[in-house]
Amino acid sequence: MTRDRFIRHATRGLWGVRKRDAALELRGAIEDKIYRHQLCGLSEREAEQAALRDLGSPHAIARDLNRVHTAPAALRATLLLGVAGLLSMQAVAQIPAVGSAFMPNDVDIQQCDVVTGQAMADRSPAMRARMDRLLAQAGGMAGLREQCRAGAFATLGPLLNVADLLTALKAAQVPVNADASASSALLLKGGSTGSIPQVSFQTQTIGGQRYLPGMFLITFLQTVTTQPFTLTGQTNPVLTIGSARIPIGSARAPVQTVDVLVRGLSAARRTDTSLPLPVNVMPMTTTLPIDPAAPQLAVPGTDGEVFAVVQNILRINEDRRDADAPETLWVRARQNGRIAFTDELTPDIRLVNSQEELDQATARGVKAAVVYRVNTANLQHPAMTPVPAMQVRVVTRP
C-alpha cells in the first residue's frame, strides 16, 4: 500500500476541513516516520513500508476518526442544504475590489529586453523557428516586449493586495485571524476552536504595500474558511463567498482565473486525495508563451467551460522516468471549441481515460494526455470528472 492510498483509506468518511486536516496530519506523521526509519539505515521504500506498518490499520483509523468527527446524518443533511442555499443565494453584497500588481522585476523594461533578447540568441534551429512564430503572433520584437511589460510572462503572476483582501473578507463576514506585521509573510493565527491551522503565506512588498501571489488565493481561502466559494469570469474574476461578491484583480495586473485554478488544484491535491491528479504535478499557467503552431485539443461542451489536462510529454522527453519528473497540468477555458495543452509540435499524443491509463502510457514511454471537466461551483471542494478519450481530438495547426 502506498502512503496516498493509506491516507485515502484512513480519512474515508470525513469531509471538509476535518478531512483535509486529518490527511495533512497523517501525511506529516508518515513522512516523520519515514525520515526516522531512513536514519536507521532503511531504503526509502523499506522506510515507507515500515512507517505504514507502524501506523496500523487505516480502516481502524478511519472508523475511530469518524466516531470523533462525523456529525449525525440529519445534521449533515441540514448542513448540505445550507451549502446549497448559500450557493444559490441571489441577494448578494458587492464589496470593493481586491487590487493587484506585478513584481516590478517581472515587467521591468530592461528585464524584458533580457528575456526577449535571450530567446532570440538561442541558436537551435527548432527554437529559432518557434521564436519566429511567437514573434509573428506578437507583432515583432516590439510587440513581444510590450507583452512582457504588460506582465504576460510575469514569473510570479499577478499579486493581490493583502490589505484589500483582508478588508473584503471582513466585509464578507469571513473572520480571518491574520497577523500581517511580519515583513515577508502573512501569518494565519488559527481559529478560536483550533479548526484553522496556523500557517503562513509568503508575501511581497510592492510600492510599500503587501501583496500575496494570486496563485495562493484558493489555498488561502480554503485555509481561512470552510464556507463554499467560487470564482466566476475568465479575467479578474468575482469571488462569491456567502452572500458577498468580491471583484479580484485590476486592469494593470489582470488575474486569469485558470491560473488561479491550476495552482489551487495542484495545491489541493496535496491533501485532497479524491482529486484524480498526481501528487507532484507541474502547473502550466498562461504566462508561459505557447508556440502558435502547437496542437490543441478539441473538447466537447460549450466555450467558457473549464477543462484540465494532465500530460506526460515533459516526462517522456526528458527521459527521466526513473527520476520521477512531474507530469504537467494545464487548466484552460474552452475557446472556439479548443483548449491548449502543450507547447510541443508533435501531434503524436495518445488520449487516455484516466490517470491510471496515463501511468501505464508513461511506463511504456508513450506520450499521452487525460482530459477532465473542472467543476468550479464550490472551490472549497473542486471536482474533476474525466472526459472520455473518444470525445476528445488532437487538432494540429498550420
Partner 1 sequence: MDAQQLKGHLDLLLLATLDTGPRYGGQIIADVQASTDGYFSMREGTLYPALHRLEKQGFIHGEFQTLPRGGSPVKVYTLTPTGKTELTAQREKYDRFTRAVRGVIGGPA
Alpha helices for 109-149 (secondary structure H): 109-121, 125-138, 140-149
Residue in 5, 44, 54, 139 binding partner 1, rule: CB under 8 A: 54
- Residue closer to partner 1 (CB basis): 30 or 231: 30
- Considering only the stretches 24-32, 41-49, 309-317, 326-334, report the one whose residues sit in contact with partner 1 under the rule CB under 8 A: 24-32
d(CA 149, CA 35): 45
Count of residues of this chain found to bind partner 1 when the rule CB under 8 A is applied: 31
283, containing H or E segment? strand 281-284
Residue in 47, 48, 65, 174 binding partner 1, rule: CB under 8 A: 65
- Is residue 67 at the binding interface for partner 1, with CB under 8 A as the rule? yes
Amino acid at residue number 392: V
Q: How far is the CB of 331 from partner 1 (least distance, A)?
A: 24
- Is residue 61 at the binding interface for partner 1, with CB under 8 A as the rule? yes
- Residue closer to partner 1 (CB basis): 58 or 237: 58
User: Measured between alpha carbons, how far apart are the two ends of the chain, in Å?
Assistant: 47
- Is residue 359 at the binding interface for partner 1, with CB under 8 A as the rule? no
Residue in 2, 57, 202, 243 binding partner 1, rule: CB under 8 A: 57
The partner residues of 256 in beta bridges, in order of sequence, read 235
Q: Closest Cα to residue 308, out of 288, 334, 289, 290?
A: 334
d(CA 298, CA 392): 6
- Is residue 26 at the binding interface for partner 1, with CB under 8 A as the rule? yes
- Residue closer to partner 1 (CB basis): 22 or 351: 22
Binding mask 276-305 for partner 1 (x = CB under 8 A): ------------------------------
- Is residue 40 at the binding interface for partner 1, with CB under 8 A as the rule? no
- Residue closer to partner 1 (CB basis): 10 or 370: 10
Who contacts 221 (Cβ-Cβ below 8 Å, separation ≥6)? Answer: 229, 239, 241, 379, 380
Give one DSSP letter per residue of 237-259, joined into a string. Answer: PEEEETTEEEEB-BTTBPPBHHH
- Residue closer to partner 1 (CB basis): 32 or 319: 32
- Is residue 83 at the binding interface for partner 1, with CB under 8 A as the rule? no
21, containing H or E segment? helix 16-39
Output helix, strand, coil percentages for the chain, rounded to the nearest 5.
40, 20, 35
Cell of residue 158, nine digits: 499577478
- Residue closer to partner 1 (CB basis): 17 or 206: 17
- Is residue 197 at the binding interface for partner 1, with CB under 8 A as the rule? yes
Cell of residue 268, nine digits: 489541493
Residue in 8, 9, 12, 36 binding partner 1, rule: CB under 8 A: 36
Which residue in this structure is represented by grid cell 478531512?
Answer: 19
Which residue in this structure is represented by grid cell 479524491?
Answer: 274
Q: How far is the CB of 193 from partner 1 (least distance, A)?
A: 8
Residue in 17, 29, 42, 115 binding partner 1, rule: CB under 8 A: 29
- Is residue 13 at the binding interface for partner 1, with CB under 8 A as the rule? no
- Considering only the stretches 67-75, 84-92, 328-336, 352-360, report the one whose residues sit in contact with partner 1 under the rule CB under 8 A: 67-75
Q: Closest Cα to residue 351, out of 390, 307, 395, 295?
A: 390
d(CA 4, CA 2): 5
- Is residue 48 at the binding interface for partner 1, with CB under 8 A as the rule? no
Q: How many CB atoms lie within 10 A of CB 334?
A: 19
Residues 311-350 that bind partner 1 (CB under 8 A): none
d(CA 110, CA 118): 12
- Is residue 64 at the binding interface for partner 1, with CB under 8 A as the rule? yes
Residue in 1, 43, 60, 179 binding partner 1, rule: CB under 8 A: 60
Q: Closest Cα to residue 101, out of 288, 265, 264, 248?
A: 248
Residue in 56, 117, 175, 365 binding partner 1, rule: CB under 8 A: 56
Q: Contact positions toward partner 1, by CB under 8 A?
A: 21-22, 24-29, 31-33, 35-36, 54-58, 60-61, 64-65, 67-69, 190, 194, 197-199, 270
